[in-house]
Amino acid sequence: MNRGILRAHRDGILTTTSLMVTAPFAAEAVAIARATPTLGVGLHLVLVQGTPASADARATGLMTARGGFRESAIPAAIRYFFDPALRRAVLREVRAQLELYRATGLPLGHVDGHLNVHLHPMLQATLAELVPEFGIPALRLTREPVTPNLRYDPRHRLRKTFEGLVLRLLSSIAEKRLGPLGVVFADRTLGLHQSGACDEPYLAHLIETLPAGATEIYCHPAEAQTAEMRRLMPGYRPADELAALTSPRVRALVERGGIELVRWSDLRR
């Protein structure tokens, strides 16, 4: 993944990436980012399918007996919402991940979340509390129109519609909650409904139909897949996504369309 992201930036159209601060190769990712100042970097908050950063994660119940967060996002989100002790533990965990990110010395470009956990109502409140302390400048609002994607790919209609409605509602709440604090958002985020399949035809389609405004397109590029990646992201095609981001055809479409490739920091100027 680290090598794929670097290639997608140096040889393609990728401008920004997100760092999971407790991931196995986070130190390598930080070294790459330090050596590549043109690459924007933000924090990818992890509250499921990963390793906690807080020292008391096991005692508070955030860490399971297997040594990590819970694997399934929806049951974990329900527990975080209804268990007061876990809510306090989540606040400490989010703070710990922000502190680890700050310790890297990298500028904080934005915050988003693994499986969009950052849009959980409790996480929104936590981030709002921490905006002044950590200077959180921008946040991903995962609000992707469903209808255009269904015209392109009508598969998984029910799942896409459900995801789109829920995440649009949560994004609307987050915008009202964090916008007054000076947090910046893109006008839309595309790629959710095609996660793992942001290949060249799809990326070209997005670029050719891109509306005016600031659009975030997110992908999961990598040079290859490990067994753990295949387990957590079944059906994903990260090598195809890397090929799309570095495609000469895609680059030509960007230039022909007069599209400006920016980082989150550019939206605040």
Q: Is residue 109 classed as helix, strand or coil in its secondary structure?
A: coil
How many domains are there within the chain? 1
Measured at the alpha carbon of residue 57, what is the angle toward residues 52 and 58, in degrees to the nearest 5? Answer: 115
pLDDT value for 148: 93
In a domain, 267, yes or no: no
Element (H, E) at 204: helix 200-208
Rounded Cα distance between 133 and 131, Å, is 6
In a domain, 61, yes or no: yes
pLDDT of residue 7: 98
Is residue 154 in a domain? yes
What are 176-179's contacts with CB under 8 Å, separation 24+? 177/124, 177/125, 177/128, 178/124, 178/127, 178/128, 178/131, 178/136, 178/139
Q: What is the CATH number of the domain that holds 49?
A: 3.20.20.370
DSSP 260: P
Planar angle of CA 218, 220, 226, nearest 5 degrees: 170
- Domain range spanning residue 134? 2-262
- Nearest partner of 47 among 117, 101, 99, judged by Cα: 117
Residue 80 falls inside a structural domain = yes
One-letter amino acid for residue 133 of the chain: E
How many residues belong to the chain?
A: 269
Contact 193, 167 (CB under 8 A): no
Amino acid letter, 29: A
The b-or-e profile of 92-107 (16+ CB within 10 A means b, else e) is bbbbbbbebbeebebe
pLDDT of residue 87: 85
Closest to 243 measured CA to CA, from 29, 4, 41, 15: 4
Distances (CA, A) of 116 to 107, 137, 153, 165, 189: 22, 18, 22, 14, 12
In this predicted structure, what is the pLDDT of residue 67? 85
Q: Is residue 102 a contact partner of residue 108, using CB atoms and an 8 Å limit?
A: yes
pLDDT of 72: 85
pLDDT tens per residue across span 126-144: 999 999 999 999 999 999 9
Residues of the chain short of pLDDT 70, as ranges, are 269
Spatial separation of the C-alpha atoms in residues 51 and 20, rounded to whole Å: 10
Against a cut of 0.85, is the pTM above it?
yes
The confidence score (pLDDT) of residue 269 equals: 60
Structural domain contains residue 219: yes
Confirm whether 64 is domain-assigned.
yes
pLDDT of residue 17: 98
Tokens of 35: 């050596």
- As a whole number of angstroms, the distance between CA 84 and CA 41 comes to 32
Structural domain includes residue 161: yes
Q: Is residue 268 part of a domain?
A: no
Write down the mean pLDDT value for the chain.
95
